[in-house]
Amino acid sequence: MSNRRWGWGLLGMVALGVLWSACSYQPFRQGEILYANFCATCHGENGEGFRDLYPPLANSDYFRENQLETACIIHYGMDKELVVNGKTYQQAMLAVTQLNDVEICNVINLLSYSWHSGMKTVTIDEVRAQLESCSDWELLD
């Protein structure tokens, strides 16, 4: 096979790869990866929570009512009693300091999109403003 024909074949394969990825666009892919790596161990693969220790995130009234405050909880952690869907949880959540504001935004948008039908997505500016407003929270790690 000549170099020219090989080059066109390679170019065609790249073009097909780009076309395929455009057709399978997954807008919340980073949020899915981050959730799997940092959240699913406690909150469950499908956001169902874990027994009486960790609250559910899927169909959570607390999340629905505190969507942006979730940025503070992710970044700083939380050590207070929490009532989710009528059930009380007292297990502390440690801060996830490895995530930056863009990644936190992506996790919140994944939760909003995946388990809270009709919720709006949040913008990075909203998340940054929220993180600034809770900057006096004590880091729980």
The domain segmentation of the chain, as residue ranges, is 28-133
Instruction: Show Cβ contacts of residue 68 under 8 Å, excluding neighbours closer than 6 positions.
Output: 108, 122, 126, 127, 130
94 contacts 140 by C-beta, under 8 angstroms = yes
Spatial CB neighbours of 17, under 8 Å, sequence gap ≥ 6: none
CATH of the domain spanning 28-133: 1.10.760.10
Q: What is the pLDDT along the chain (141 residues), one digit of tens a residue?
A: 555 555 555 555 555 555 444 444 566 899 999 999 999 999 999 999 999 999 999 999 999 999 999 999 999 999 999 999 999 999 999 999 999 999 999 999 999 999 998 899 999 999 999 999 998 898 888
- Residue 19 confidence (pLDDT): 46
Cα–Cα distance for residue pair 42/48, rounded to 1 Å: 9
Look at residue 63 and give its three-state secondary structure. Answer: helix
pTM here?
0.80
